[in-house]
Chain A
Amino acid sequence: MWITALLVPPLAFVALFIVYPIVSAFAYAFFDWNGLARGEFVGLDNFFKVLFTEPYAGWTRNAFGHNVQVFFALMVLQNGMGFLLAYCLWRGLPGARFHRVAVFLPVVLSTIIVGYLFKLFLHPMFGVVNVSLKAIGLGFLAQPWLGQSSTALWSLIVANTWHMVGFPTLVFLAGMQRIPGEVLDAVRMETESEWVKVSKIVWPLVAPSATVVFTLLFVGAFNWFEIPYVMVGLDGSPYGSTDVLGLYFYRTAFGNQSGATQDFGAGSALAVLIFVFVAVVAGIITVKLRAREIQL
């Protein structure tokens, strides 16, 4: 009795607001929808529509391609810098504690604040980026960062890196601090080379941190929504050059400001496809990366 009383309320929350919606999302994708009303069973029609029928198929490919680009770019910039910074902090030089607090500070900020802040900084006329470039004689480099297809997505990627780089940094740092001192002493006997030490000892030994950071980045990159929503709007402007699956899914399901139609059927199909893709690939990544983790 006592155990039941303890367990039922929390289980009810998770069942009703996590498990039930996710299971329903799969079911909804197989129905036709008229606004908020469920129509008849249409089998795989919705999936067929978003994957193979134009213009949906083109939008899906375009958005998916950008998510892939975002994932690889953040992998290099955010996780790469995170590893480098962790390695620097690990040395424990004077001020390391302060640097650690500073690098994590943006992580606690709302993505909405970060998005708007960078949007203001990147403003073509008054933004601090272009104003600074002009002030130091590099005015020819000033450009409408968010207004042209060639730089818009990269601007979002940079904003995201600034916001989140503290997370991989601190996770890698925790991994490095767990490396036993005896191991490091033994390496010192063998080699003087920093590169050998990093590539042969530190990197393999922080594998558990890498597994977590890579997997979370993958899931995050394919759920990317807030930064593009705030900085370039629901349509992924200019000309869809920053459109990603999160924006596309939202537009399809709930329409955009200009009052386009809501399509819960196609939206659900997109959600299911993203969900399955993320779950399967994240699963594979985790298993593959776990295999290279070493137990000391």
Chain B
Amino acid sequence: MSTAGETYYDRKGLLGTLGRDGLIQIILIANTVIMLAPIVIMVFSAFKTNAEIFQSPFSIPDFTHFGNLLKIWTQTNFLRYLFNSVVVTGSAMVLILVLGTMAAYAIARYEFWGASFILMFFLAGLTLPLKLAIIPLFILMRDLGILNNQLSLILVYVAMGLPTTVFILTGFIRTLPNELEDAARMDGASELRIMWSVILPLVRPAMVIAAIQNVVPIWNDFFFPLIFIQNDDLKTLPQGLTSFMGEYTTDWGVLFSGLTLSAAPIIVIYIFLSRQFINGMTAGAVK
């Protein structure tokens, strides 16, 4: 990872280095065990009966007991919640990326009065904790007639996601050379065509960063559905989880299965794309 660090340590006394590195390995391994154990216990418990969970919480199940998972599949609204989360997150992400690219392209590429002011306007939205404006948002959604409607969630998520997206994409587009667009313009391509066929392919790496930075908080969001959505058929996964956890309080196998199934999609994607996730989610914090 850090070549600078390695060359530095290579020159240390061998014994001292061994001792120090041993301690570091122990800390890292202990920490990784602490990080993974709760998740492993959760997944194991999903395949156990209540009695097994209470008597031997750490034992490895034989993964043949699918009763809990079946119960969730057939007796709860889990699939519905999952579907709702996909719809809401998917729609919000498409809008965020389309609108964000439009604004970033305009701010980064055209000279016009107020460009920096508009960037500042988006930046202001970056840091404001929108939770505290929930009362006016609630009244706004009621006046728009979209309380208890997933549109309310999508609109808020788009507004929340745009500032970071515009910020990341504007910075990126500014680093791209102008020559390609100028050449396309010489050839008589329209502005829309230039944005679509010249710029869009180039900004794709930055769009991945912006997408991941937004998709995780939106997928995991609980607060806005809690306020806006009452109808069980419209609930998203984190919110649905709360009603479902309240229902099965004594059936621990089912509870652990519910948690496992809810966590599974994002864990699986994270395992395959961990580098992109880490880069995306720390993008705002790492210069």
Specify whether A and B are partners: yes
> Which A residues are within 8 Å of any B CB, using their own CB?
2-3, 6-7, 9-11, 13-14, 16-22, 24-25, 28, 36, 81, 84-85, 88-93, 95-113, 116-118, 120-121, 126, 128, 131-132, 162, 166-167, 170-171, 174-177, 179-181, 184-185, 188, 194, 208-209, 212-213, 216, 219, 223, 225-226, 230, 246, 249, 253-254, 264, 267-268, 271-272, 274-275, 278, 282
Determine if B278 and A104 form an interchain contact, defined as CB atoms under 8 angstroms apart.
yes
| Residues of B189-209 whose CB lies within 8 A of A | 191-192
Q: Is B93 interfacial (CB-CB < 8 Å)? A: no
Residues of chain A within 8 A (CB-CB) of B102 are 6-7, 9-10
Determine if A110 and B1 form an interchain contact, defined as CB atoms under 8 angstroms apart.
no
Complex-state Cα separation, A16 to B162, whole angstroms: 13
Determine if A10 and B140 form an interchain contact, defined as CB atoms under 8 angstroms apart.
no
Complex-state Cα separation, A84 to B27, whole angstroms: 9
Q: Given A99-B31, A209-B285, is A13 in contact with B2 using a C-beta cutoff of 8 Å?
A: no
Complex-state Cα separation, A121 to B99, whole angstroms: 43
* Nearest CB of A to B243, in Å: 11
Q: Given A10-B99, A21-B130, is A181 in contact with B274 using a C-beta cutoff of 8 Å?
A: no
Most buried by A among B136, B220, B239: B136
30 contacts between A and B (CB under 8 A): A3-B110, A3-B112, A6-B103, A13-B155, A13-B159, A16-B159, A17-B137, A21-B130, A22-B128, A28-B135, A36-B142, A90-B2, A99-B31, A105-B270, A108-B277, A112-B241, A116-B255, A117-B259, A118-B38, A126-B53, A128-B41, A131-B54, A132-B57, A170-B282, A181-B7, A188-B11, A194-B20, A246-B131, A272-B132, A282-B127
Residues of chain A within 8 A (CB-CB) of B11 are 188
Q: Is B245 interfacial (CB-CB < 8 Å)? A: yes
Complex-state Cα separation, A83 to B43, whole angstroms: 30
Pick from B21, B35, B100, B191: contact of A103, CB below 8 A.
B35
Residues of chain A within 8 A (CB-CB) of B122 are 10, 14
Q: Is B70 interfacial (CB-CB < 8 Å)? A: no
Complex-state Cα separation, A280 to B250, whole angstroms: 46
Residues of chain A within 8 A (CB-CB) of B223 are 225-226
Q: Specify the chain A residue showing the minimal Cβ separation from B155.
A: A17
Determine if B34 and A170 form an interchain contact, defined as CB atoms under 8 angstroms apart.
no
Determine if B24 and A88 form an interchain contact, defined as CB atoms under 8 angstroms apart.
yes
Q: Is B266 interfacial (CB-CB < 8 Å)? A: yes
Q: Is B47 interfacial (CB-CB < 8 Å)? A: no
Q: Is B42 interfacial (CB-CB < 8 Å)? A: yes
Q: Given A36-B142, A112-B241, is A185 in contact with B125 using a C-beta cutoff of 8 Å?
A: no
* Nearest CB of B to A172, in Å: 10
Determine if B285 and A14 form an interchain contact, defined as CB atoms under 8 angstroms apart.
no
Most buried by A among B127, B133, B137, B281: B133
Q: Given A108-B281, A109-B220, A275-B129, is A181 in contact with B135 using a C-beta cutoff of 8 Å?
A: no
| Residues of B121-159 whose CB lies within 8 A of A | 121-122, 124-125, 127-137, 139-140, 142, 155-156, 158-159
Determine if B259 and A113 form an interchain contact, defined as CB atoms under 8 angstroms apart.
yes
Determine if A92 and B5 form an interchain contact, defined as CB atoms under 8 angstroms apart.
yes
Pick from A91, A118, A171: contact of B285, CB below 8 A.
A171
Q: Given A18-B130, A185-B8, is A98 in contact with B1 using a C-beta cutoff of 8 Å?
A: no
The 4 A-B residue pairs with the shortest CB-CB distance in the complex, in nearest-first order = A181-B4, A17-B159, A24-B136, A21-B133
Q: Specify the chain B residue showing the minimal Cβ separation from A212.
A: B285
Q: Specify the chain A residue showing the minimal Cβ separation from B100.
A: A10
Determine if B121 and A11 form an interchain contact, defined as CB atoms under 8 angstroms apart.
yes
Q: Is B116 interfacial (CB-CB < 8 Å)? A: no
Complex-state Cα separation, A13 to B99, whole angstroms: 9
Residues of chain A within 8 A (CB-CB) of B284 are 212
Pick from B4, B140, B255: contact of A180, CB below 8 A.
B4
* Nearest CB of A to B260, in Å: 9
Residues of chain A within 8 A (CB-CB) of B282 are 167, 170-171, 174
Q: A93-B25, A212-B285 are in contact. List 12 more A-B contacts (CB 8 A).
A: A3-B112, A16-B140, A28-B135, A88-B27, A90-B5, A113-B262, A181-B3, A184-B8, A194-B20, A208-B287, A272-B132, A275-B129
Determine if B263 and A101 form an interchain contact, defined as CB atoms under 8 angstroms apart.
no
Complex-state Cα separation, A24 to B141, whole angstroms: 14
Complex-state Cα separation, A6 to B281, whole angstroms: 27
Residues of chain A within 8 A (CB-CB) of B222 are 110-112, 226
Residues of chain B within 8 A (CB-CB) of A109 are 220, 263, 266-267
Q: Is B87 interfacial (CB-CB < 8 Å)? A: no
Pick from A167, A171, A223: contact of B131, CB below 8 A.
A223
Q: Given A89-B28, A96-B28, A109-B220, is A7 in contact with B118 using a C-beta cutoff of 8 Å?
A: yes
Determine if B1 and A92 form an interchain contact, defined as CB atoms under 8 angstroms apart.
yes
Q: Specify the chain B residue showing the minimal Cβ separation from A5.
A: B102
Residues of chain A within 8 A (CB-CB) of B158 are 13, 17
Q: Is B286 interfacial (CB-CB < 8 Å)? A: yes
Residues of chain A within 8 A (CB-CB) of B15 are none
Q: Specify the chain A residue showing the minimal Cβ separation from B241.
A: A112
* Nearest CB of B to A258, in Å: 15
Residues of chain B within 8 A (CB-CB) of A184 are 4-5, 8
| Residues of B219-243 whose CB lies within 8 A of A | 219-220, 222-223, 227, 237-239, 241-242
